[in-house]
Amino acid sequence: MDERVREHAAVLVEWSARVDPGDDVVVDVAEGAHELAVAAAEQLGEIGANVVTTYGSEEFSRAYLRAHDGEFEAGAHELALIENADVYLRLGGGRNTAATVDVESETRQAYSTARQELREARMDTDWVSTVHPTRSLAQQAGMAYEAYQSFVYDAVLRDWESLAEKMADLKRILDEGSEVRIVTERSDRPDTDIRMSIEGRTAVNSAASVAYDSHNLPSGEVFTAPADTSGEVFFDVPMTINARRVRNVRLVFEDGEVVDFAAEQGEDVVESVLDTDDGARRLGELGIGMNRGIDRVTDNILFDEKMGDTVHLALGRAYDANLPNGESGNDSAVHVDMITDVSENSRIEVDGETIQRNGVFRFEDGFDDEPEPV
């Protein structure tokens, strides 16, 4: 076994999930993540955790969804498993990233809606999602397999405490702010000019550990839950949503809701997401990428949304960690992230003050050297 797999498992179990002796742990293993699962099992055994393993396969999901009549119910047996878990680890890494491309959008919507209670229960655990580098993911990223492995481990095996200290500066700015504005002006594509309220919200310093209310490995973003969105935004980073390619998406917001949309590719996929439920037309997340170890787009949202010089907005469900105790944010059966490049001709403002210009934060070297967007 590649020693980096064991290092990945150690970061996952010890830093990210903070597993303790006697914890009841569910490990959900994708079909291509066997090696990482074995390494994680060794770590969990040494700690003295109690482990149950489940198996996830996109081809399995495709067969089930295409055969079903569409009247889905959340299984009480699965709910009981999750509700009795202390920790839930999702190890991604499939063999075919487009396996479910021919599942009808109405079936996806019905299945996602039926499983909303299960997702809520999982979020009450110390859950962490990560991915094992597979050949299919390397192919999707347009990379040789060995190069992709190095890319993944460079993103995962890093000094998370140091990054957390740096991201704390941005968290403080957002926590003290009331409104965020993002402006990008370009001659060859639609502009972005969007405003969001963050009044009373708490930003999360997402340093790849449940100790920071962070549940992705790798991570490297600061995110919050916006409200009262207005304006328009253009997402120019390609992505895959529901196994379908989506490119160059434009959303227009009024009074917090999407009132118009377009996409160069995959417009029907965007429409399907927006039609899931009422909450799918509102934003659940504003995330600002700060992981400069992720230096290229790989068509995997777990990595791409953390990349420096990017901002992502998610349609759908908000995270409770961003909200005052006892309050609920935007509710939806979906949480779909889309990414915009802010490395050129762009600025982020908080309460009218520019805090990032062309991807450089005001607390970073070089901020004053960046030209103000026209």
Nearest CA-CA partner of 42 in 81, 14, 83 = 14
Contacts of 2 (CB under 8 A, 6+ apart): 35, 149
- Confirm or reject CATH 3.40.1830.10 for domain 3-156, answering yes or no: yes
* Cα→Cα distances 86→21, 126, 321, 322, Å: 11, 6, 18, 21
Share of the chain above pLDDT 70, in %: 99
- Model confidence at 263, pLDDT cuts 50, 70, 90, reads very high
Q: Is 347 left (phi over 0), alpha (psi -120 to 50) or beta?
A: beta
Q: Which helix (H) or strand (E) element contains residue 54?
A: strand 50-56
Q: What is the pLDDT of residues 155-172, one digit of tens each?
A: 999 999 999 999 999 999
| Torsion, Cα of 142, 144, 147, 151 (10° steps) | 30
| pLDDT of 30 | 95
| pLDDT of 325 | 81
- Residue carrying structure tokens 């079909």: 31
Q: Say whether pLDDT at 373 is over 80.
A: no
pTM: 0.88
Domain parsing of the chain, residue ranges: 3-156, 160-369
Q: Taking residues 85-102, what's their average pLDDT?
A: 90
Q: Taking residues 254-281, what's their average pLDDT?
A: 96
- Model confidence at 374, pLDDT cuts 50, 70, 90, reads low
SS3 257: strand
Q: What is the number of residues in the chain?
A: 374
- Model confidence at 372, pLDDT cuts 50, 70, 90, reads low
